Amino acid sequence: MASFDFRTVPHIHSGPGSAGRLASIAAPLIGARKRIFLVTDKGVRALGLLDTAVAGLEEAGLTVAIDDSVVADPPEDRVLATVNAAREFGAELVIGFGGGSSMDTAKLVALLLGTDQPLADMYGVNKVRGGRLPLILIPTTAGTGSEVTPISVVTVGETSKMGVNDPALYADLAVLDAALTYGLPRAVTAATGIDAMVHCIEAYTSKIEKNPVSDALALAGLKKLHGAIERACTDGQDTQAREDMLLGALLAGQAFANAPVGAVHALAYPLGGIFHVPHGLSNSLMLPPVLRYNADIADPLYAEMSAHIGLKNPGAVALVEEMERIADAVKIETRLSQVGVSHNDLPRLAEDAMKVQRLLVNNPREMTLDAAKACYEAVL
């Protein structure tokens, strides 16, 4: 067998209501520290999702500063402003509480407070020098898996995405509290849930770093998500479905943190950058054409995945048709024209996608400019 590395966060705690018990769950990590800096967005704060967590921390004698300035696709200058706020507060521990953008920002805050290295020097893979502050991540959507990945993506300039990918970004603790996700709107549940399924599918076919541990996690994640997504979209209060979605997204995150995603994500990124299509939806849109393109090479792997979730006639066709059926059932957009893309935009999208070589190298079949154009065309 080829050699491989597998890394993940050292401590995962899962249980409904666990956010309110954070002080005791994280007690060994908190130690003698008193000043907690919590990074979130205004939506999460307005919904009251922070309340029990903050109350529990304050009852334990800790001082909590809340920064709710995170926006989707966080711009670099905003991230740096949050870093300054944390420094002025004298943060001793950082909590990321929310969706992928809040968790990604919290990772960089913890990192930049622990080292003199500038952010601009950290972009890329394994570029981080020095340590970071203790870091706890608490997701409020079941999708990105950012709570267990060593990746933080920020927007630099107008539309270009830069990533810091380094083991230093693995949090010390990830806390799953399904109660935080009961109120997620159907459209968000659907898009982020399909994104998590894409993480499983792309990790399982990842060309370079696919390994037996990530494979097991990808299959387990796909099964949980597949079994729960329609129930979670139909009834947001279905506690079992919500728990399965959150756990499935975490398993997917552990898989793709080690066996990175490929062309679905590479072709999805320009939709986010140029048209501001949310990450989950853009991946859901690009999944069918990329899977059909990959089928020549990856059909046996798609067959294994579709057999694992109980589909008839396992293979790429079965998997694509099942994912298309789910997208219809959970009522999200399935055509690029529904998110403002026109025929004239396709060349630019394809050219931008080809720039995402860091992901394209993981795709099981080589993605060319013409093939990328054809993928966009197929779902216009």
**Where on the chain is the footprint of Zn ion (CB under 5 A)?**
195
Q: What dihedral do alpha carbons 30, 70, 281, 363 form, nearest 10°?
A: -60
CB of 40 to Zn ion, least distance (A): 20
Q: Which residue has the tokens 């499935």?
A: 248
What's the CA angle centered on 187, arms 183 and 188, to 5 degrees?
A: 60
- Residue closer to Zn ion (CB basis): 64 or 196: 196
Residue 195 vs 215, nearer CB to Zn ion: 195
Amino acid identity of residue 282, one-letter, is S
68/195 with CB nearer Zn ion: 195
Cβ atoms < 10 Å from Cβ of 7: 13
Shortest Cβ contact with Zn ion: which residue?
195
Q: Cα separation of 226 and 79, whole Å?
A: 34
Enter the DSSP assignment of 35: E
Nearest CA among 288, 277, 299 for reference residue 374:
288
Question: Between 145 and 315, whose beta carbon lies closer to Zn ion?
Answer: 145
| Closest distance to Zn ion from the beta carbon of 376 (Å) | 18
Secondary structure (DSSP) of 285-339: HHHHHHHHHHHHHHHHHHHHHHHHTT-SS-SHHHHHHHHHHHHHHTT---SGGGG
Q: Which is nearer to Zn ion, 57 or 200 (CB)?
A: 200
* CB of 131 vs Zn ion, minimal distance in Å: 28
Shortest distance, CB of residue 170 to Zn ion, whole angstroms?
18
Please, what is the minimum distance in Å from the beta carbon of residue 205 to Zn ion?
Answer: 15
